[in-house]
């Protein structure tokens, strides 16, 4: 029964596509309800973990959000992650994870996981915290998720 509930919750936020000529989609709220068993070990002890569970992405993942997310990425993230998200800045520097691959995200690609990583950073790494307003963080989240290769 629990699995049916989780599956139904996952389906709520899956479809944001709009048929041509139907206009922009309305803001979508994705319900995020991870269980401790589904999280990497130690994740519940990360800074901001509890707070990130309370925040919901209410920014529609439409063209406007993706354009804002792209611009934010180019100014805030590209210096370390590369303009093309490849993580390859120069031959003199070790490459970071390729953000175009969903498998590169150690702590997941859910809205909650990406929000937490951007807002609070990753302890023990060069990924620091970013004090952007939540709508800008979710523009980045929408942009990053749109760039994932299948």
Per-residue model confidence as pLDDT tens digits over 50-99: 777 778 888 888 899 999 999 999 999 999 899 998 988 888 888 888 88
More confidently predicted of 84 and 3:
84
* pLDDT-above-90 percentage for the chain: 25
How far apart are the C-alpha atoms of 31 and 54, rounded to whole Å? 10
Q: What is 39-146's CATH number, 3.10.310.10, 3.30.450.20, 1.10.760.10, 1.10.630.10?
A: 1.10.760.10
CB of 24 closer than 8 Å to CB of 53: no
pLDDT at 48 over 50: yes
CB of 83 closer than 8 Å to CB of 89: no
Which stretches does DSSP call E strand in 41-112? none
pLDDT at 10 over 90: no
Average pLDDT, the chain: 74
Check the CA dihedral 111-113-114-117 and report its sign: positive
pLDDT-derived band at 39 (thresholds 50, 70, 90) equals: low
- Residue 93 is given by DSSP the state S
């Amino acid at each position: 029964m629990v699995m049916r509930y989780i599956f139904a919750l996952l389906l709520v936020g899956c479809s944001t596509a709009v048929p041509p000529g139907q206009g922009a989609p309305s803001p979508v709220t994705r319900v995020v309800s991870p269980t401790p068993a589904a999280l990497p070990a130690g994740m519940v002890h990360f800074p901001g973990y509890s707070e990130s569970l309370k925040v919901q992405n209410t920014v529609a993942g439409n063209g406007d959000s993706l354009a804002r997310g792209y611009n934010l990425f180019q100014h805030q993230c590209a210096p370390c992650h590369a303009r093309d998200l490849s993580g390859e800045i120069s031959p003199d520097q070790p490459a970071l994870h390729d953000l175009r691959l969903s498998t590169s995200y150690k702590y997941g690609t859910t809205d909650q996981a990406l929000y937490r990583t951007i807002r609070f950073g990753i302890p023990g790494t060069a990924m620091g915290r970013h004090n952007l307003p939540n709508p800008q963080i979710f523009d980045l989240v929408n942009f990053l998720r749109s760039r994932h290769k299948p």
